[in-house]
Amino acid sequence: MTRTPDPSWIEARLTGARPQVVAALLRYFRDLDLAEEAFQEACLRALKNWPEKGPPRDAAAWLIMVGRNAALDYVRRQRRLTQLPPDDAAFEGAADQPDMAERLDAADYRDDILRLLFVCCHPDLPGTQQIALALRIVSGLPVSRIAAAFLIKEKAMEQRITRAKARIANADIPFDTPGPAERAERLATVTAMVYLVFNEGYTDANPASERASLCDEAIRLARLLLRMFPAEPELIGLLALMLIQHSRQNARFDKDGAPILLEDQDRKQWSRRMIAEALVMIDKAMLHHRPGPYQIQAAIAAIHARASRPEDTDWAEVEALYRALEHHVPSPVITLNRAVAVSKLHGAQAALDVIEPLAAPLDGYFYFHGVRGTFLRDLARNDEASDAFGRAIALANTPAEAGHIRQLLDGL
């Protein structure tokens, strides 16, 4: 008897497969809207068929085949040509073909997502549209979450994404992988997109989930990019940064999904293999003498990775590196991170002095209020700490984040 997958498990698997499926459908049909609609139709079919028949061995390949058939059906109906066979016949046996991926133009299937990233990062699109489009098309983030990340209204973000799609369609932007010169021009933006894909998976509390597998996909994409640009130190730094961050995945959340702070994590659970590879790559990047934001962030992560105990962390070096990062990419979030190092070196009051000017720009940022509340608690200013923690709970992105802050609040 076939086991029935849990509905939430099916949803997670669909989320993890989305980048490959949408990218492949875009290659077939060269229409972003049609590719997205075909993916949605394939998801509906999966929700209908998988609970009864069980999941396919290759979910992405199954969804590509189903989505392609659905899109072909739509295109033929639009052209008033002969329709495909009835839906059930079109999809019959799709889950029983484990070699499907190999039959779908193996080379293209492997590089589809990279091609999609370059399309989203086309220079004809403004930078904000590039990022929003990649988050929507590649990572599949809901428009509401993308809007929240950009601190704008959902309707405005929907319009931004719609304009980006229209510009791609009207400009007749090619859906082929660009040549060497164009790739070099778009590399910085594509690199940022890869990191955004990684972060989308990194936020999942279950390291075995399909969504968390986006971390592996981002690392794969970075390796692919590095083969194309082997002497690009920022790309080397990005891969090192993701490897160190991913090395901690099994130690970052407790069994209930609540986040575990870096200093409280069981460092024996960190993947030393990933860390060792990352440390070698950081050394390799530094040989180019062209420091950049990803290299600096990787260097900060390496300091934590090298410390066998939290008290062994070289906080003076961490604080200096965050100052260098502020110089490259000034940001209130980076200053907030530097304040944590300041608190370790000079105490909570010094750290509070650093973050007070950030109150306005970071008022809607969950982590600002959580960190500020921690500093206030350390200074025994419990009423103010309580207010800060309350504000953080209101801004929490997940129940686990809210639960963590409630524990701090209860401890006052």
Rounded CA separation 95/90 (Å): 12
Give residue 149's pLDDT: 63
Identify whether the C-beta of residue 219 lies closer than 8 Å to the C-beta of residue 243.
yes
When comparing pLDDT for 123 and 351, which is higher? 351
Which tokens in the block code for residue 143?
């428009």
CB-based burial of residue 9 (10 Å sphere; 0-12 exposed, 13-18 middle, 19+ buried)? Answer: middle
Which tokens in the block code for residue 66?
């189903």
Q: Give per-residue pLDDT as tens, 211-249.
A: 677 788 789 888 878 887 888 999 999 999 999 999 999
pLDDT above 80 (res 302): yes
Give residue 99's pLDDT: 46
Rounded mean pLDDT of the chain?
83
The pLDDT of 358-364, averaged and rounded, is 93
Identify whether the C-beta of residue 396 lies closer than 8 Å to the C-beta of residue 366.
yes
Which tokens in the block code for residue 307?
């410390």
pLDDT above 70 (res 273): yes
Give residue 109's pLDDT: 47
Rounded CA separation 360/24 (Å): 43
pLDDT classification of 6: cutoffs 50, 70, 90: low
Give residue 376's pLDDT: 96
Nearest to 92 by CA among 114, 66, 110: 66
Rounded CA separation 226/412 (Å): 48
When comparing pLDDT for 36 and 313, which is higher? 313
Give residue 102's pLDDT: 43
Give residue 193's pLDDT: 81
Give residue 32's pLDDT: 82
Q: Give per-residue pLDDT as tens, 67-116.
A: 999 888 888 877 755 444 444 444 444 444 444 444 444 444 456 777 77
Rg, Å, the chain Cα set: 23
35: region left, alpha or beta (phi > 0 left; psi from -120 to 50 alpha) = alpha
Give residue 210's pLDDT: 63
Give residue 397's pLDDT: 78
Give residue 18's pLDDT: 85
Give residue 174's pLDDT: 64
Identify whether the C-beta of residue 337 lies closer than 8 Å to the C-beta of residue 362.
no
Q: Where are the alpha helices (DSSP H) in 203-292?
A: 213-228, 233-247, 272-286
Bridge partners for 253 per DSSP:
259
Identify the structural domains of the chain with CATH numbers, from first to last. 1-104 (1.10.1740), 330-412 (1.25.40.10)
The pLDDT of 124-129, averaged and rounded, is 80
The pLDDT of 291-315, averaged and rounded, is 96
Nearest to 274 by CA among 210, 227, 219: 219
Q: Give per-residue pLDDT as tens, 176-199.
A: 666 677 667 778 888 888 888 888
Side-chain-facing half-sphere of 275: CA atoms under 13 Å: 18
Rounded CA separation 161/147 (Å): 10
Rounded CA separation 100/29 (Å): 19
Determine the 3-state secondary structure of 253 from DSSP: strand
* Least confident span in 21-25, 282-286, 399-403: 399-403
pLDDT classification of 26: cutoffs 50, 70, 90: confident
When comparing pLDDT for 181 and 157, which is higher? 157
* Least confident span in 51-55, 159-163, 274-278, 382-386: 51-55
